[in-house]
Chains A and B, each alone.
Chain A
């Protein structure tokens, strides 16, 4: 980093310079070795299995069902991303504007669902939305409906389940961007006689756009690779491409699996390119305010008939609008967990809600049955290591790329994101071969390397979104006052980006903590992880996973309470010192 700042990371035309490449190199080398080369090798099988051929692609194009499935995949992912945005933006706004202490409590609430396994939450939705589920039973009892509503085993079930899993990502990215916006701007506008919503629309909304672009993209891309949720909560129209890829790999038909993965990757990149064309430059993705987006933002800011009408409609309800949406979102996030807790105390050997009786047997099993505690410990170790690797490489990448403005660097950014689109089975198998050559399979480090392949781009998205809003004049000011470049980075840049770095670290941690497929291949017996233990429950039901989820959620809640208490004591102590 010393080098990076002793000379600018980009040249005058905004291309990454010598030092920029130095900052980028760890991530580029890492992804080239562990991701790009092995994955390309695996995907190439689609052209040479069994002999040089385009047969797999021809088959894919000729059989209409695969086109339909690809279309499903994009439809579902786009709906999920847009719905997430609709709920996440107001929620993040409320989190960014409430008093700090309340905000901390609410942020914990947002992260809670991450710790209840996604698998268990899928079951919770069945108990909530099923024909004899909580919602239908309540509505029937109230006499509002005579037949149960079809809420699940169709598209709505898939979208509800996926939005629930992906919402926290979007809320936290938006929050990290909104925290960087100087909040006194809105009251300032209000003091200039602008009604509150008008002030928000003209000042806050445009400044938050980088977060909107980045987080929508992240959720869209993560949604593309889903397969357990659509399988469990969907109907006949909701097969996603990852489901078909899993079937093909199960038959060791790597040629066809590779063709499917390639088509998914290429069409996703094409969509991103189309977005670039429409919004002018990849800045849309990274949140850089490029001319066209800026023009769009300006249209929002400028007064015209449409915005006047918008103001007239929203201003009277503005005080309630976002808080109400945020309240509903919190309820939506927490409700599956409310179901999971009683499941974990069930006396039945399968999931029944409400439980027929209560017992602690699943907790006993977690604590005494072989492997569970050990797997929990491994998961923590691997997740911490993943955070170190992913955030360690993502910070220099975002320092370099946030200054670069050329088309090439935009493409590089998109390329760095591609591991998120790649179906995890493809990453899992290809990284297995590399790690095996390096004798790193079945080690904690090996699994962490595997997890970093996807955690790294996630961390990059978060940091880039925040970095685009970062006022570089602060750095210049520090250096003009004689601060060394390293000191400037450590004392000015990184502290300002604190929320974003913590968010990136949290995502890297949680990605690793939840990741199944890479662990199934790479972790072996020596480094088996908690999700790998939980994966067994996909095959045969066992409420132990509900117990594990409850323990993790409770640990997080207790941890947050203790931290809050310590802070409170600390701040009182501090006040006394100042007062004295």
Chain B
């Protein structure tokens, strides 16, 4: 027994020493900005296209943390000493944070005038946010199930057509997830509503259309699932993001994205109110608005640039897979954030009630 106590004492001493060592390491801070991301392929691409070149040019290191951006930044701002400087989020998350007063204004004086002018005011250049890239959420299908030369699905109507395109589909489940997934929009487009007449959304009609397809749907609840189900043949069609779809394609999976009826939206850079490294974050945001950086990100993961001049630095093949490429963009629709901010919980409840037990 005595030996055990001795071991415990030694263990406790060791842990105490380690703790002290950690605290010292944390106190040693250099020239840096702190980014909160969600990791994975997106963050890998940001690192390659933005973070590393920025450090190389300016000597300012981008320190990467991960977590639930909205909740974490709220907790940090309310606690009085934030550590996270900035992140990029969906427009819906931006609206939420802006409403709670958690954001610092963007200072455009750091931007190069030529870059600034090619970024549209309002949607991209906002007071408390600036566009980071265009993303797209839409339909993708497995080319193993529907190979070239055979009929392939080209619309949400085809997505709903189980007779012509047999197999399971995978869709995001109601509102039990973050993001701006166009679930009722897809149902209404499939039901024949023209893209410019989508909003205000007819909730009962959308729920009815989803119920109709539900027996053939695997409902996914986190963003890694739809791609997973496509490549493992659990499903033949999915609602997925263009970034993840490109990621699968780059990894060699037989998957194709359908631009017709896809949603296009801009992700936003936001800066924490009271961000400890505010000025350097502004330098970073001005840096990534440059056409060369925007083109680098587009090449890395296929997110479309908010600075259209980046297209001049890409070849046709690279450009053709981006959501703002004219041939793609004209088939897509714009997501109405104002409708969603007002109706999110109404939709979620109607959807959960309608789909439970289907």
Contact = CB atoms under 8 A, between A and B. Distances in A.
B358 A444 contact: no
Contact of A429 (B25, B43, B75): B75
A11 interface: no
Contacts of A249: 68, 71
Contacts of B10: none
Nearest to B97: A252
A117 B227 CA distance: 20
Contact of A232 (B37, B222, B352): B222
Contacts of A532: 66-67
Contact of A250 (B71, B234, B248, B352): B71
Contact of B176 (A231, A444, A520): A231
B71 A247 contact: no
Interface residues of A, number: 70
Interface stretch (B76-84, B116-124, B269-277): B76-84
B345 to A, nearest CB: 8
B219 A236 contact: yes
B205 to A, nearest CB: 19
B223 interface: yes
Residue of A131, A253, A350, A532 ringed by the most chain B CB atoms within 10 A: A350
A429 B71 contact: yes
A64 B353 contact: yes
B18 A540 contact: no
Contacts of B357: 236-237
B158 interface: no
Interface residues of B, number: 76
B39 A536 contact: yes
A539 B79 contact: no
B208 interface: no
Given A243-B176, A436-B81, A540-B40, A443 B19 contact: yes
Contacts, number: 193
Interface stretch (A108-116, A274-282, A521-529): A521-529
A537 interface: yes
A350 B79 contact: no
Nearest to B174: A239
Contacts of A427: none
A528 B22 CA distance: 12
B38 interface: yes
B19 A540 contact: no
Contacts of B228: 123, 126, 350-351, 541
A536 B40 contact: yes
Contact of A236 (B25, B173, B234): B173
A491 B1 CA distance: 8
Interface in B36-87: 37-43, 63-68, 70-72, 74-76, 78-81, 83
A433 interface: yes
A177 to B, nearest CB: 23
A7 interface: no
Contacts of A127: 232
A490 interface: yes
B244 A540 contact: yes
A145 B194 CA distance: 44
Contacts of B18: 381, 444
A432 interface: yes
A539 B42 contact: yes
A330 interface: no
B349 interface: yes
B219 A153 contact: yes
B185 to A, nearest CB: 19
B178 A250 contact: yes
A247 B348 contact: yes
Nearest to B167: A131
B192 interface: no
Interface in B230-248: 231-234, 244, 247-248
Contacts of B168: 131
A437 interface: yes
A521 B26 contact: no
- The DSSP consensus for interface residues of chain A is helix
B331 interface: no
Nearest to B252: A348
Contacts of A541: 40, 224, 227-228
Contact of B175 (A247, A436, A525, A537): A247
Contacts of B93: 250
Contact of A520 (B22, B26, B68, B74): B68
B313 interface: no
Interface string A42-68: 000000000000000000000111001
Interface string B199-227: 00000000000000010001101111101
Interface string A251-265: 111001000000000
B150 interface: no
B320 interface: no
A566 B313 CA distance: 64
B224 A251 contact: no
Nearest to B218: A153
A251 B1 contact: no
Given A232-B221, A250-B68, A444-B18, A237 B356 contact: yes
Nearest to B251: A349
Nearest to A353: B232
A433 B75 contact: yes
A244 interface: yes
A561 interface: no
Contact of B233 (A64, A132, A528): A132
Contact of A443 (B15, B22, B100): B22
A526 B64 CA distance: 11
B253 interface: yes
B65 A239 contact: no
Nearest to A249: B71
A381 B15 contact: yes
A463 B192 CA distance: 63
Contact of A231 (B221, B244, B356): B221
A120 to B, nearest CB: 12
A280 to B, nearest CB: 37
B245 to A, nearest CB: 12
A521 B71 contact: yes
Contacts of A524: 65, 83
A247 B214 contact: no
A189 interface: no
Residue of B19, B100, B248 ringed by the most chain A CB atoms within 10 A: B19
A540 B224 contact: yes
A384 B43 contact: no
14 contacts: A126-B228, A127-B232, A153-B218, A232-B225, A236-B357, A239-B352, A247-B178, A349-B252, A350-B227, A444-B22, A538-B223, A539-B224, A540-B39, A540-B42
Interface of B: 1, 11-12, 15, 18-19, 22-23, 25-26, 34, 37-43, 63-68, 70-72, 74-76, 78-81, 83, 93, 96-97, 100, 168, 173, 175-178, 214, 218-219, 221-225, 227-228, 231-234, 244, 247-248, 250-253, 344-345, 348-349, 352-353, 355-358
Interface of A: 63-65, 68-69, 123, 126-127, 130-132, 153, 228, 231-232, 235-237, 239, 243-244, 246-247, 249-253, 256, 348-353, 381, 384-385, 388, 425, 429, 432-433, 436-437, 441-445, 490-491, 495, 520-521, 524-528, 532-533, 535-542
